[in-house]
Structure 1
Amino acid sequence: MQVHRQNLYACPVPKLVDHDVRRREIAQAVWAVIAERGIEGVTLRSVAAEAGVSVGRIQHYYASREELVRDSCRELLKAATQRFEAVDDTTPVEKLRRLVLGRIPATPEFAIGTSIWLAYEAKSVDDPVIAELVQRGHAGGVQEAAALLSECGVADASAVALRLMATAEGLAIRVLVGGLEPRGATELLENLIAEVLPG
């Protein structure tokens, strides 16, 4: 029996879906909702509307609002790590400066990102899973800073790293609420970095 080639091409072909990409897209919709309405505004319906998909599509990946919020927090941490690691610094000092100074929301877009992270921090008070994720995020930053400080020859690198990162995070909040300009916060951190580095 002769089979027409055009009929072969007309056969439906399953569409390949990258589930990691889809989850990241959904997470981005969650972040947009948080930025506009706070974490209390996150629902399956509000996220679906933001993402331009059906509620059923969201439910295909997430059975509950709680699961959706938690996974969006994981995605935020993953995105931050990937963004940091994507830059190839030439020296440990440059990488340390980028890590510490990068906590300051110096642009409107970065300010939105910081406010979203702070929403997760607030949620961590009553959500043990998000609390663990937030703690992991803080610990990861301190560990990275400690490793870089050790490369720079700083004694007691862990304690110094905690001091640097805690100061940066506190200043970030001050900048976000309007009590300090990004330039002022950056100068304070630059001085602190110069103070703790040898030589």
Structure 2
Amino acid sequence: MPKQVDHEERRRLLAEAVFAVIGTRGFEAVSLRDVAEQAGVSMGTVQHYFPTKQQMLMFALSHMRARVLARLQATLAALHEPSRRDLIRAATAVMLPVDPAGREEACVNVAFFSAATVTPAYAEQLRTGYGRLLAVSVATFREAAAAGELRAGVDPEQAAPELYFLTQGLVGPILVGLYRPEEALALVDAQLDRLFRA
């Protein structure tokens, strides 16, 4: 009986190979051949799933969003009776390059962000992803405000994007070694202290 192939799993493995190539050699190094080599498969296998480099990269970008979401869900599920502040802090940490998985995802994200300035399809995917994250963040801050957890005068509609874009602004400095992960997280904690009641 022929072996059953999980085609979605194979696509995900190729996307992970794309991430590894970007993380070690940069966005410009990504080619069908390099991804095939990284994944340990033939060029024909890669072309079977992704006839063009553009199709491969578009899938990789959508897979990155799914991968970050899976890490986020696992992180939140591991928390014991978390407060809303705990949830926001954990989600923020997942989006920062403070561990190997986060660092690889950040390298990929930065590469796609740069490419998105000249590739509308990448820009659309990134806008959609940012929009979803911001919507969830605003909703969580609204819940915290309704529960009386935010300090007086804190506007959830403003606090959520401020924290989110503080987080985004820390990615580059961590990647290039200007800030250590613990220093970046200390800045996040200081911002949370300004937003949440003790």
Normalised-by-shorter TM-score class: 0.7 to 0.9
In the TM superposition, what is the alpha-carbon distance from 1:84 to its structure 2 partner? 0.8
Q: Which runs of 4+ in 1 moved over 3 A?
A: none
Specify the code of the residue in structure 1 equivalent to 2:125: L
* Distance in 2 between residues matched to 1:156 and 1:136, nearest whole Å: 24
Alignment correspondent of 2:33: 45
Q: Say whether the 8 Å CA contact 2:137–2:160 is kept in structure 1.
A: yes
Render the CA deviation track for 1:44-95: whole Å, top value 9, x for unaligned.
1111111111111111111101111111011011111121123324332211
Which structure is larger by alpha-carbon Rg, 1 or 2?
A: 1
Q: Say whether the 8 Å CA contact 1:121–1:134 is kept in structure 2.
A: yes
The alignment status of 1:162 with 2:161, answered yes or no, reads yes
Aligned counterpart for 1:150 among listed residues 124, 142, 149? 142
After TM superposition, the structure 1 = structure 2 runs for residues 17-166 of structure 1, keeping only pairs within 5 Å, are 17-86=5-74, 87-88=76-77, 89=79, 90=81, 91-153=83-145, 154=150, 156-166=155-165
Identical aligned residues as a percent: 28
Q: Say whether the 8 Å CA contact 2:96–2:171 is kept in structure 1.
A: yes
TM-score computed with the length of structure 1 as normaliser:
0.87
Q: Say whether the 8 Å CA contact 2:93–2:185 is kept in structure 1.
A: yes
Partner SS state of residue 63, structure 1: coil
Alignment correspondent of 1:197: 196
In the TM superposition, what is the alpha-carbon distance from 1:171 to its structure 2 partner? 1.3
Q: Say whether the 8 Å CA contact 1:142–1:162 is kept in structure 2.
A: yes
Specify the code of the residue in structure 1 equivalent to 2:136: E
* Distance in 1 between residues matched to 2:14 and 2:171, nearest whole Å: 27
TM-score computed with the length of structure 2 as normaliser:
0.87
